[in-house]
Amino acid sequence: MPSDTLSKNLNIAIQTLKAKEGSFKKIEAISNLGSWEIDLITKKSLWSDQTYKIYGEKKGAIEPNLELFFSHVIPEDIQRAKETLALALQSGNVTTFECTIRKSNGEKANILMSGQAIFDHTGLPIKLLGTTQDITQQVSLRAHSNELAQLIEYSSNEIYIVNYHTLQYLYVNKGGCDALGYTKKEFLKLTVFDTNPTLTQKKVDTLKAALSKKGNALNFTIHQRKNGSRYHAQAYIHTLTYHGVDAYVIFDTDISDQKEVEELLKEQTKKLTHQAHHDTLTGLPNRTLFKDRLAQTIIASNRSGEKFALLFIDLDHFKKINDSLGHHVGDEVLIESSKRLQKALRAEDTLARLGGDEFTVILKDIKNIQGASTATQKIIDSIKKPIKVAKHTLYVSSSVGISFFPDDATNGHDLIKFADTAMYKAKDEGRDSFQFYSSEMTTLAFERVVMENSIRVAINDMQFVVYYQPQIHAINETLTGMEALVRWKHPTLGIIPPGNFISIAEESGLIMDIDHIVMHQAMYQFSQWYKEGLNPGILSLNLSMKQLEKKDFVKKLLDTMYIFDFQPEWLELEVTEGQVMSNPSTSIQKLNEISNAGIEIAIDDFGTGYSSLAYLKKLPLDKLKIDQSFIKDIPHDEEDASITKAIIALGKSLNLKLVAEGVETKEQKEFLIENGCFHIQGYFYSRPIPADEIARLLKKSNEI
């Protein structure tokens, strides 16, 4: 190889080496890692640039050797350094060693020495090669994280780290162990469900949703200790990665004390609110609470459209009791009266004591004056029973004023004021009674009371008589039967039609007695006519559902038929569609019993009661009576005409007989015949007439 080529190659080699050395130096600088070697024979050392830098020495200014190294090691670490060196020379393994040095400028630094001895063929160490790394930063970081770990470990809070997916505990601090009574080892076998007995998977899912949204969540929970006891805890939860695992850390605080204080406060507040809203003597709501309830009732009634009544009750001559017998007797009277009032009312009514001997009541869902007067009379009667206090027997009466929502007023203030005014009216009228705020209502109420009493008298004195209205087959104009219709023969007012008393009789239950009278009279009459050889056809009796619902109704009916020798096939019972549909399931059962006894059933006033077809099919019916309101304007009124046709079609499809009521004209009759309804009842043929007139008619037709 020519010498210039050689020198060129050498040059390239030197350049390459220099370049490598340059890179090497850079790497050493980046990692803060210097290299060194010690010739154990010559005792000479070689330090890389970075090694010089680590010790803060200047290259060339000083001879690098072991002494120089030891001069930098702080005195506390020298002994250990020497021992490690000896170990490295003996073992031949890579030996590492951490110590603190003081740089030439006085600054302290942490270094990590790694070295290995090289031996000659006799096994004598001849060289030591190694590195020195400045790890000051890592050491301080490590110290810091140790401090943090200690902080967490000894924090008085309970701190738990839990696997995000399995909910198993991964870490628990001392606080957690102390609080729950498990050791760390035991904890690692548990999940959060073992320590939070009220926690549900649903709750966990909600919390996880919050965690994934915000990264943290707050939860209130109950912790159960190993010994089974429990306490309230508040938990702050954060997500984190723990040793590479998805996890969350929970910071729990025992809030039992706080809870206890809260409960105590709640209890006290409850007591105070109760005291603020109730009367101490009777325990009843006071004026404040009453006004509140009244306001709520007004809102509810506005929404539901239901009426309610407000009563103002005042005990008569209460002052006299107080003055003559003392306050303690007065107090006892008030307590006893409040108990009686409460008993006389329904659970949904509100009773309050406004003060002194004044009580107020909200009677909810009152349909009419009748309802209010019945309830009020009950109250007055309950107070009136003798009250025994100590050795006294007292007779206390009361006066009651009634106002109506919404008739009299729509605001609470006026309702109370008006009921109060009405109460004074009752006092003026002689006490021990009630008055409505509206005088028409009072009149009406008393008219009804008077009416009810007169009906009672009428029942006793047999003032009810039966009229009969024929039902005719319109094609051959023959009598098929008669409807029994009650009339009140009043001794002074003359004949009173049922429209004037049936509704009061129904509300008071007196209808049952009236129906009973009608049934007896009519059955007796029909039996007589049949015995006389006359043919009155079928007797239609109107029955109120109240009557039907009575347990022994069917038995009584059959007994009556037996007494009068009345055949079941002569009888038909009419029930109005409205009454049947108001309680279809009971009706089905009752009507089946009747039908099974061989008695026919007609549904009265059909078309007015919103029948459900499903029920119609289930009822044991024989006949539909088309309500007279549809007949009135046929055939001119198109709507009524088509409803009538539809009812006829419906009746036919259900295989039922049909009767049209209230037929007054020839056109009406002809329209009905044309459309297939042949049975007709109405003034066109005859008004309801007394039995003797019917008898004359029957005899006449017999003669023909």
Choose from ligand C2E, Ca ion, none: what does 469 bind? Cβ within 5-8 Å by kind. Answer: ligand C2E
Q: Tell me whether strands 216-224 and 230-242 are parallel, antiparallel or unpaired.
A: antiparallel
Residue type at 275? Q
For the bound state, the minimum distance from the C-beta of residue 654 to ligand C2E, rounded and expressed in Å, comes to 21
- Which residue's structure tokens are 């970081």? 141
- What is the closest distance, in whole angstroms, from the C-beta atom of residue 506 to ligand C2E in the complex? 8
Residue from 142, 683, 696, 702 touching ligand C2E (CB under 6 A): that is 683
Under a CB-based contact definition with an 8 Å cutoff, are residues 48 and 34 in contact?
yes
Nearer to ligand C2E, 137 or 500 (CB): 500
Distances (CA, A) of 163 to 93, 177, 233, 246, 250: 41, 18, 20, 6, 11
Interaction between residue 662 and ligand C2E (CB under 6 A): yes
Neighbours of 598 (CB within 10 A): 11
Query: Min. distance of Cβ 396 from ligand C2E in angstroms?
Result: 41
Find the helix packing angle between 511-531 and 553-563, rounded to 10°. Answer: 30
Which among 49-57, 427-435, 606-614, 655-663 is the span making contact with ligand C2E, rule CB under 6 A? 655-663
Answer yes or no whether residue 604 interacts with ligand C2E by CB under 6 A. Answer: yes
* CA distance linking residue 343 with residue 364, whole number of Å: 16
Q: Which residue is nearest to ligand C2E (CB)?
A: 682
Stretch that binds ligand C2E, among 75-83, 306-314, 527-535, 679-687 (CB under 6 A): 679-687
What b/e readout covers 385-423, taking b as 16+ CB neighbours within 10 angstroms?
Answer: eebebeeeeeebebbbbbbbbeebbeebeebbbbbbebb
Min dist CB 540 to Ca ion, Å, is 7
| Minimum CB distance to ligand C2E smaller for 22 or for 497 | 497
Cβ neighbors of 73 (< 8 A, separation 6 or more) are 81, 99, 100, 101
Distances (CA, A) of 321 to 331, 355, 388: 10, 16, 13
Q: Give min distance, CB of 574 to ligand C2E, in A.
A: 6
Q: How far is the CB of 684 from ligand C2E (least distance, A)?
A: 6
Q: Which does 486 bind (CB under 5 to 8 A by kind): Ca ion, ligand C2E, none?
A: ligand C2E
Minimum gap (Å) between residue 518 Cβ and ligand C2E: 4
Smallest distance from ligand C2E to CB 425, Å: 36
Angle at 628 between CA 626 and CA 631, to 5 degrees: 85
Peptide bond into 491 cis (omega under 30): no
- Nearer to ligand C2E by C-beta: 372 or 591? 591
Return the number of the residue (102 or 556) whose C-beta is nearest ligand C2E: 556
Segment (H or E) for 460: helix 439-460
Of 455-474, binders to ligand C2E (CB under 6 A) are: 469
Closer residue to ligand C2E (CB): 330 or 607 = 607
Q: Applying CB under 6 A, which of residues 502, 573, 591, 603 lies at the interface with ligand C2E?
A: 502
Could you say which of 544, 579, 587, 644 contacts ligand C2E (CB under 6 A)? 544
Convert residues 261-280 into a mask of x (bound to ligand C2E by CB under 6 A) and - (unbound): --------------------
170, 479, 518, 648: residue in contact with ligand C2E (rule CB under 6 A): 518
- Whichever of 307 and 623 has its CB closer to ligand C2E, that residue is 623
As a dihedral over the C-alpha atoms of residue 599, residue 605, residue 606, residue 610, rounded to 10 degrees, the angle is -120
Across the strands, what pairs with 478? 473
Chain CA centroid to CA 157, Å: 38
Encode burial over 122-148: b for 16+ CB neighbours within 10 A, e otherwise. eeebeebebbbbbbbeebeeeeeeeee
Q: Which is nearer to ligand C2E, 81 or 482 (CB)?
A: 482
* Residues near ligand C2E (CB under 6 A), total: 25
Q: Quick one: which segment of 28-36, 56-64, 659-667, 672-680 binds ligand C2E (CB under 6 A)?
A: 659-667
d(CA 658, CA 235): 77
Please choose which of Ca ion, ligand C2E, none residue 497 contacts, taking the beta carbon within 5 to 8 angstroms, the exact cut-off set by kind. ligand C2E
Closest contact distance (angstroms) between CB of 484 and Ca ion is 9
Site string for ligand C2E, 523-542 (x = CB under 6 A): -------------------x
Q: Give the residue with the Cβ less far from ligand C2E, 252 or 627.
A: 627
One symbol per residue from 170 to 209: x for binding ligand C2E (CB under 6 A), - otherwise; what is it?
----------------------------------------
Cβ closest to ligand C2E, residue 615 vs residue 684: 684
Q: Are 484 and 529 in contact (CB under 8 A)?
A: no
Give min distance, CB of 485 to Ca ion, in A: 7
Nearer to ligand C2E, 385 or 687 (CB): 687
- C-alpha span between 604 and 481 (Å, rounded): 15
CB atoms within 10 A of CB 573: 22
- Secondary structure element (H or E) that encloses residue 311, with its range: strand 308-315
CB of 475 to ligand C2E, least distance (A): 19
List Cβ neighbours of 75 (8 Å cut-off, separation of 6 or more). Answer: none
How far, rounded to the nearest angstrom, does the alpha carbon of residue 551 sit from its chain's CA centroid?
A: 37
Which of the 8 DSSP states describes residue 685? T
H/E run at residue 109? strand 108-119
Give the binding site for Ca ion (CB under 5 A): 542, 574, 604-605, 661
d(CA 461, CA 680) in angstroms, rounded, equals 35
In the complex with ligand C2E, the residue whose CB is nearer, 115 or 607, is 607
**Binding at 34: pick from ligand C2E, Ca ion, none (beta carbon under 5-8 Å per type):** none
Report the alpha-carbon distance of residue 468 to residue 687 in Å, rounded. Answer: 8
Give whichever of 316 and 513 is closer to ligand C2E, judged by the CB atom.
513
Q: Nearest-5° angle of CA 240, CA 243, CA 245? A: 60
| Binding-residue pattern over the window 480 to 499 for ligand C2E, x denoting contact by CB under 6 A | ----xxx----------xxx
Task: Tell the smallest beta-carbon distance from residue 604 to Ca ion (Å).
Answer: 4
Of 145, 155, 162, 148, whose CA–CA distance to 242 is shortest? Answer: 162
**688 touching ligand C2E, by CB under 6 A:** yes
Residue 536, preceding peptide bond in cis (omega within 30° of 0) = no
| Contacting positions for ligand C2E (CB under 6 A) | 469, 484-486, 497-499, 502, 511, 515, 518, 542-544, 604-605, 628, 661-664, 681-683, 688
